[in-house]
Amino acid sequence: MSTYAVTGSASGMGAASAARLRAAGHQVIGVDLRDADVVADLGTAEGRAHAVREIIRLADGRLDGVAAVAGVGPQLRDAGAVVSIDYHGPVALLGGLRPALAASGAGRAVVISSNSSTTVPMIDEELVRLLLAGDEEAARARARAATAALPEEIAANSPRISAYASSKFALSRWVRATAVTPAWARASVTLNAIAPGAVVTPLMTGSTMKEEDLDADRFPTPMPLGIFGRPEDIAFWVEQFLRPEARFTTGSVLFVDGGTDAAMRPRAQPTAMTR
């Protein structure tokens, strides 16, 4: 039996991931704002530090894996909170838990990014730079200012979409850069990301429409398979990345989006290396 920590365990993809791991016989330490083994707000430095301490305590200092699933969508009113929760939350949590993952001798970590990082043409490069630099206060201020400056037609529909997409873009960049550093790779701790597309969760329906109104053929982005994802579709890949056998995969970003990214950017991958 392995010991895993799963953030966002009270609902959606986090709940599905925790349930799948428990069904396989593993110990799961759930983290969320409510109904969890560790109740913590990952949008604050204090909440992240509390979560790290409690997870390590409950795991006796040794973790086999972490699934950083907790996140919010562009419907959140405060763009500053979006970047704190969606970027700084998982980055700080995983940084704090890395020694416990290394202690297992084969730690596994997976985070939830989004295909919005590649399919939304509103990535704020300055915000991404601030996020990757670790300047949370400056990033929060930038996200709020950029949101206030959006054109009215965009602000009316999804005013925090740039903050959301930019946070997920930066998170994927962080995963790729961090996974190959000696502190992670040479400690046999793998780090990967999953980029979901339109998955029917409270986060998605709360920001776009009611579930009964969803129509894959009329969705704003292409849906080649003609279906929407379910939390269980993401939980499947969370478990795969956390398995001991996933020893040769790190720094990867896996799109689990029904083909949306491939349909919108068919020539984006592979990209040839240039001199």
Residues involved in catalysis: 164
E-strand stretches of the chain: 3-7, 27-32, 38-39, 65-68, 108-112, 190-196, 253-256
Alpha carbon distance 117, 163 (integer Å): 10
Report whether 89 contacts 42 (CB < 8 A): yes
Alpha carbon distance 239, 174 (integer Å): 21
Q: CA nearest 122: which of 83, 166, 169?
A: 166
Alpha carbon distance 186, 180 (integer Å): 8
